[in-house]
Structure 1
Amino acid sequence: MIPLSVPNLKGNEEKYVVDAIRSEWVSAAGNYVNRFENNIKKYLKVDNAIACQSGTAAIHLALKLSGVTPHSEVIVPTLTFIAAVNPVKYLGAEPVFMDCDDGLNLDCEKLEQFFKEECTLTKKGLINKTTNRCIKAVVVVHVFGNMAAIEEVKELTDKYNIKLIEDATEALGTCFIAGKYKGKFAGTIGDFGAYSFNGNKIITTGGGGALVGGSAKDIKMAKYLSTQAKDDELYYVHDNIGYNYRMSNLQAALGVAQLEKLEEFIEIKIKNYEAYKAKISNINGFSLLKFNDKARNNHWFYSLCIDNNEINRDELLQYLLKNQIQTRPIWKLIHTQKPYKNNQAYKIEKAIDYYNKVLNIPCSSNLKQESIGYIVRVLGNIKK
């Protein structure tokens, strides 16, 4: 079986993890946690970062620090992993679902239309006329590592005084190469940026995440909340409700080693994407989804588009599986899922189309060229 996306652990992972074990600092304290945070800050060129247990934890903290409260609202994409949305509910707030653009990212034009036509700007903030709730934040996901239209979204959130949270959990290393934010990384443009180091991400800590933000005060508060909100560590005084969200030293040791290889992984990902693209272009009925040409994208996942209506997505998935090729459909749209069926969804159109015609194909950074060739040959033989 050619797997969809698995870790590449060929660097200093074992060396650093063993060192952490020998130091006997294995939980949410130790040299590697601080080292990983410092390396993340250096790589992303930011001043403030904390390491968390997951990308979901980072998003939760970002929403809380953005002033999201019960009965308020957050604009979210419907085409994304559900972890980008669930933290809204953790805080007692409600999501409003937005459609995607042709890069699978949040549709900025519809977002602007929604603000203009469906909301009223008041002294209390931007009010959704349908629900009479205040919109506190927008969550933009850089889907599959593809840079979203974050320039345009930031103009809107600034205009309406709404917090912008970048879910960059799939986009570590994606950065602008042109435009207003040239040189800036995904996750460093909004008020907060969340990253994930789950087992299938471009680098992994087994499970883990990070939160970055422009305000040192905010990130200090995030760290405080992530360690059970201890106001006095000796006498266990807690003046606020906190969370057990701190990354462990063992996870961080793995992360330090993985981060050393990130640029190499991105280079391989881009090379493999281009190899796929060149070969698939010779097959009628298929294409690879393009990445944002204003950015050096990390190319985390590759999206195979089924352009031929005669080919059924699920039948193709099973066909590839029978040929020992693991694939995955994109996520079931969140506004159609049971916990969110009663939430407002604004003009969802493109997301439905892409949901029905996209499969993710093997994209690990240790994927061999022979495997790419085999996968493309299998695709070419589908009609036969």
Structure 2
Amino acid sequence: MNKRIFLSAPHMSGNELKYIEKVFESNYIAPLGEYVNKFEDSIKDYTSCENALAVTSGTAAIHLALRVLGIGAGDDVLASTFTFIGSVNAILYQGANPVFIDSDKESWNLSPILLNKYLCECEKKPKALVITHLYGQCAEIEKIVDICRLHGVYLIEDAAESLGAIYKGKHTGTFGDFGIYSFNGNKILTTSGGGMLVSSNKDWIEKAKFYSTQAKEPFIHYEHLEYGYNYRMSNVLAAIGVGQMEVIEDRVLKKREIFEWYKEFLSDIEEITFMPELENSRGNRWLTALTFEKADYNKVMKALEEVNVESRPLWKPMHMQKLFENSKSYLDGTSEELFKKGLCVASSTTMTKDDVKMICEVIKKVL
């Protein structure tokens, strides 16, 4: 049996253990310490965001953003339907109602046309939009920003999958009122678990920091006027993040190279369509995503599993989930069609061109 090829395996830079050892020497392993600050600074330096807060997960970051923006029970919050549920769960934490907007074919991300139509037609104005940059590829973010501003809707960018993606020279996560990144085990940069909240508004980040540390008032004793959360990242995980950030551009370039290998080996297969990339953008190609016009992706998955290669269907749209059967949605069928035909193939940065060639040969045999 071949060695297991994972969808997106963690890949250490080599310095993570050295930084972890320094954390243990200092004995600051809790959600305090120099590496939390260093990790936040590295994200600020890389993305040119003004303020950053290291937290326990991307979902925690979205939750904090919604809380700071005053989203509460009964409010409507727009969201991409074609996404991972972590983008939406935080809306439920606040007692708000998710309203799902479909994708466009040009990016597979939330459609600005449908977004604008919904906002022009809806009777109840949503308070915010949580938009996902899917699989590391940029949404039409400038258009979406303009629409949100026109209608007075806060914008939270879920850039959990898209650290390193750039639209017209600007990093995803830095266009909206808030942006979030995820460092889960399979992301392009991983701290095993963790997230980052960013914003140009310093007061908002300070408020999020307050909520993330149990909303403790500035007294020598424990004084609380509001409730909060235990959401701050530990110094240990932040040390891993600092090591990972030293190679983030290498990881982006390798992910993009893997995508190009897939295109090269599958270019003669007419029924395969790869996830598009918008003009004037650079996605990080976190996962290479594609669709089959006729073939059953389940057969492709089974064939790949037989040679010990992991793959995964595209996200099942949120409006199709039983959990959200009573939620409002504004659809044109794009995300359902992508889910019906789509697959994510192995995209680990440790993969070689021969690995990709082998995977493509398996795919071709099924087709």
Specify if TM > 0.5: yes
The separation in 1 between residues aligned to 2:198 and 2:323, in whole angstroms, is 29
Q: In 1, are the aligned partners of 2:116 and 2:147 still within 8 Å (CA)? A: yes
249, 252, 271: which is aligned to 1:263?
249
1:357 aligns with 2:346: no
Q: Where in structure 2 are the equivalents of 1:150-165 lying within 5 Å?
A: 150-165=141-156
Q: In 2, are the aligned partners of 1:76 and 1:139 still within 8 Å (CA)? A: yes
- Corresponding letter in the other structure for 1:112: N
Give the aligned partner of residue 243 of structure 1.
229
The separation in 2 between residues aligned to 1:70 and 1:77, in whole angstroms, is 20
40, 43, 52: which is aligned to 1:40?
43
The separation in 1 between residues aligned to 2:143 and 2:356, in whole angstroms, is 36
313, 326, 329: which is aligned to 1:342?
326
Q: In 1, are the aligned partners of 2:79 and 2:130 still within 8 Å (CA)? A: yes
Q: In 2, are the aligned partners of 1:56 and 1:83 still within 8 Å (CA)? A: yes
1:14 aligns with 2:20: no
Q: What secondary structure is seen at the aligned counterpart in 2 of 1:188?
A: coil
- Corresponding letter in the other structure for 1:106: L
The separation in 1 between residues aligned to 2:351 and 2:109, in whole angstroms, is 26
The separation in 1 between residues aligned to 2:316 and 2:77, in whole angstroms, is 20
Aligned-pair distance for 1:206?
0.6
Q: In 1, are the aligned partners of 2:189 and 2:248 still within 8 Å (CA)? A: yes
Give the aligned partner of residue 55 of structure 2.
52
- Corresponding letter in the other structure for 1:149: E
Give the aligned partner of residue 157 of structure 2.
166
Q: In 1, are the aligned partners of 2:13 and 2:243 still within 8 Å (CA)? A: no
Q: What secondary structure is seen at the aligned counterpart in 2 of 1:381?
A: helix
State the Cα deviation string for residues 317-374 of structure 1 (Å, max 9, x = none): 1122112221000122211222211011112410100001110001111111110110
1:377 aligns with 2:357: no
The separation in 2 between residues aligned to 1:299 and 1:79, in whole angstroms, is 17
Give the aligned partner of residue 144 of structure 1.
135
The separation in 2 between residues aligned to 1:116 and 1:232, in whole angstroms, is 44
176, 187, 190: which is aligned to 1:204?
190
Give the aligned partner of residue 194 of structure 1.
180
The separation in 2 between residues aligned to 1:191 and 1:319, in whole angstroms, is 44
Q: What is the TM-score with the length of structure 2 in the denominator?
A: 0.96
Root-mean-square deviation over aligned CA pairs: 1.2
Q: Where in structure 2 are the equivalents of 1:205-244 lying within 5 Å?
A: 205-232=191-218, 234-244=220-230
Q: What secondary structure is seen at the aligned counterpart in 1 of 2:362?
A: helix
- Corresponding letter in the other structure for 1:26: I
Aligned-pair distance for 1:115?
1.2
Q: In 1, are the aligned partners of 2:13 and 2:246 still within 8 Å (CA)? A: no
The separation in 1 between residues aligned to 2:116 and 2:330, in whole angstroms, is 12
1:368 aligns with 2:359: no
The separation in 1 between residues aligned to 2:205 and 2:65, in whole angstroms, is 9
Give the aligned partner of residue 25 of structure 1.
28
Q: In 2, are the aligned partners of 1:137 and 1:162 still within 8 Å (CA)? A: yes
- Corresponding letter in the other structure for 1:47: E
Aligned-pair distance for 1:284?
3.8
Give the aligned partner of residue 124 of structure 1.
none
Q: What secondary structure is seen at the aligned counterpart in 1 of 2:126?
A: strand
The separation in 1 between residues aligned to 2:207 and 2:365, in whole angstroms, is 56
Give the aligned partner of residue 71 of structure 1.
74
Q: In 1, are the aligned partners of 2:44 and 2:50 still within 8 Å (CA)? A: yes
Q: In 2, are the aligned partners of 1:281 and 1:287 still within 8 Å (CA)? A: no
Give the aligned partner of residue 291 of structure 1.
277
The more displaced of 99-108 and 222-231 is: 99-108
Q: In 1, are the aligned partners of 2:108 and 2:275 still within 8 Å (CA)? A: no
Give the aligned partner of residue 87 of structure 1.
90
Unmatched runs of 5 consecutive residues or more in structure 2: none
Aligned-pair distance for 1:201?
0.3
Aligned-pair distance for 1:101?
1.2
State the Cα deviation string for residues 62-109 of structure 1 (Å, max 9, x = none): 111222111010011111000100111100110011111122211110
Q: In 2, are the aligned partners of 1:229 and 1:240 still within 8 Å (CA)? A: yes
The separation in 2 between residues aligned to 1:87 and 1:61, in whole angstroms, is 9
- Corresponding letter in the other structure for 2:153: I
Q: What secondary structure is seen at the aligned counterpart in 2 of 1:135?
A: coil
Q: What secondary structure is seen at the aligned counterpart in 2 of 1:367?
A: coil
State the identity as a percent. Answer: 39
Q: In 2, are the aligned partners of 1:269 and 1:300 still within 8 Å (CA)? A: yes
Q: In 1, are the aligned partners of 2:51 and 2:205 still within 8 Å (CA)? A: yes
The more displaced of 136-145 and 264-273 is: 264-273
Aligned-pair distance for 1:227?
0.6
